[in-house]
Amino acid sequence: MKLDPKRSSYLPTPATLKRKEKLSEHVSLFVFEPDNGTLLGHKPGQFIMVSVYGVGEAPFSVSSAPVPDSKQFELAIRRTGTVTNAIHELEPGDRIGIRGPYGTFFPVQEFMGKDTLFIAGGLGYIPLRSLLHYQLRHRDEFGRIIVLVGTRNPRERIFTDQIMELGKRPDVEILETVDQPDQCWEGHCGVITTLLPKVDINPENTYVAMVGPPVMYRFVLSGCEDKCIPQDRIYVSLERRMKCGVGKCGHCQINGLNSCIEGPVFRYDRIAPLKEAL
């Protein structure tokens, strides 16, 4: 959204829930639209602050791609606490407050003409979905799209219908795995790093976009190193606990970097030396 320099950066803008959809036992998709009729104006990888009136405020990555002719945007949210529980109780027509979008984003211009390897662990698919859908909307401008998705178990998989449709596209290569299969799971088993040997890439023509739980990064980055992917072609999103969203409170600092304004999307070679980053 276009920011008014006279308006406090802490003052939320009202938005209305248009639709919600259950994705798994604890995760639902929420479609909102700003009440002032403006575009959210986000870029893939950015986040917004969502406030539920009388309850509190929390940051969430935008999961939808920016679309010039649509004022609606999507958030996929897991129940984890007071604010997220309150959001899950919302019904279409209910209103929230939003601030942002904030933070850095995946450099889509840099990715153009190149192959992209998406690596999504757990809920990491949510922010990567914005970049993935952007590339699909501008398919001719990008090279191969390779998507690796890892989930703890089949019950926690999200966007299953969309992932199945992606698997049918000839221009998308998608591999999925679960750590702990159940009796019905017929796909690949193992942590997400077990998918890396299955993909053949050109390291000089490939960018990596990865988001996942902290424990995932060290092992996946080692796998990327084995494939000779340069560090300056790897982008990671580090979702620390943003509180203010504007670099004032210091709650999300990583060795002096404010993750809310200098992140959450970082080029790997810029944070590799920071002990607290990964």
Name the binding residues for [2Fe-2S] cluster: 244, 249, 252, 260
Provide the β-strand partners of residue 115. 206
- ∠ CA 223-229-235, rounded to 5°: 85
Three-state secondary structure of 190-256 = CCHHHHHHHCCCCHHHEEEEEECCHHHHHHHHHHHHHCCCCHHHEEEECCCCCCCCCCCCCCCEECC
Provide the β-strand partners of residue 102. 47
Report the binding-site residues: 244, 249, 252, 260
